Amino acid sequence: MPELPEVETTRRGVEPWSLGQQVVAVDVRERRLRWPIPLDLAQCLQGQYIGAVERRAKYLLFHTVAGSLLVHLGMSGSLRVIRDASPPMRHDHVDIRFGSGDCLRFNDPRRFGCMLWLQPGEQHPLLQHLGPEPLSPGFSGALLYRQSRGRRAPVKTFLMDGRIVVGVGNIYANEALFLAGIHPQRPAGRIALARYEVLAGHVRQVLSSAITQGGTTLRDFVGGDGKPGYFAQQLLVYGRGGQACKRCSRPLREARLAQRTTVYCVACQR
């Protein structure tokens, strides 16, 4: 599933081609996504100018005076800039065409993504109750420490809870916990403030590095320009279960936490 760096990479990829552009047409070829695309989406968007392209957690928001288009990439979706007359392929469900001649093409083979319309000022349920952005001033080790008190859940599960902090998906939780030397199964409420401060720093470091390098290429993901991300080349633990730890050379262990693959080093993470 595209995580925060992949979604931010997509935002940065499509923003230069979308910002200030007028929507001249919206072609919807398949409405049956995770939630049906509104029947009046074309009517809402057509004629509007894109005033801003924002990311909130793993959602993209295309703001206009009349409202905002909310896009989620789901498990396998992508949003690409099409600058020629390339015909749509099988899973290209939506084209948003601009006066410039370019278009945004939404592709989603598994149809777990969404494309919804928000009225001005509307607070959609999908965006309610979200925690702070991990790269914002509102995120810190002190925040993690406060929110973790009394919690028995594993720290990895806690870190991936979007009500605590948004966008720290499975890949990056594995990596940040390894760098911080924290065992992913350790109860969140039994971790000291100093360790959470270290963890918060590594969360920011890992996500920033992944964004800089265009995200992590896993199966279907490509950025808004159609190019894959390259952060996978630097993964220290994720996807490396059974291989040697790059710090101590012991075999990395693999487990399942909340139905997600978890890879860690028993020597380096306590």
Burial class (CB in 10 A: 0-12, 13-18, 19+), 75: middle
CA distance 89 to 104: 14
5 backbone φψ class: left, alpha, beta (φ>0; ψ -120 to 50): alpha
Residue 204 in marked binding region: no
Residue 110 in marked binding region: yes
CB under 8 Å to 162, separation ≥6 — which residues?
A: 57, 130, 131
Pairing label, strands 260-264, 253-257 = antiparallel
Q: Quick check: is 260 catalytic?
A: yes
Residue 72 in marked binding region: no
The distance of Cα 204 from the centroid of its chain, to the nearest Å, equals 14
Q: Please list the residues that pair with 118 across neighbouring strands.
A: 68
Catalytic residue (choose from 55, 58, 97, 195): 58
Q: Quick check: is 2 catalytic?
A: yes
What CA dihedral angle connects 163, 255, 261 and 145, to 10 degrees?
Answer: 20
Residue with tokens 């101590």: 248
The annotation places the binding site for DNA at: 91, 110, 151
The annotation places the binding site at: 91, 110, 151
Indicate which residues carry an active-site annotation.
2-3, 58, 260
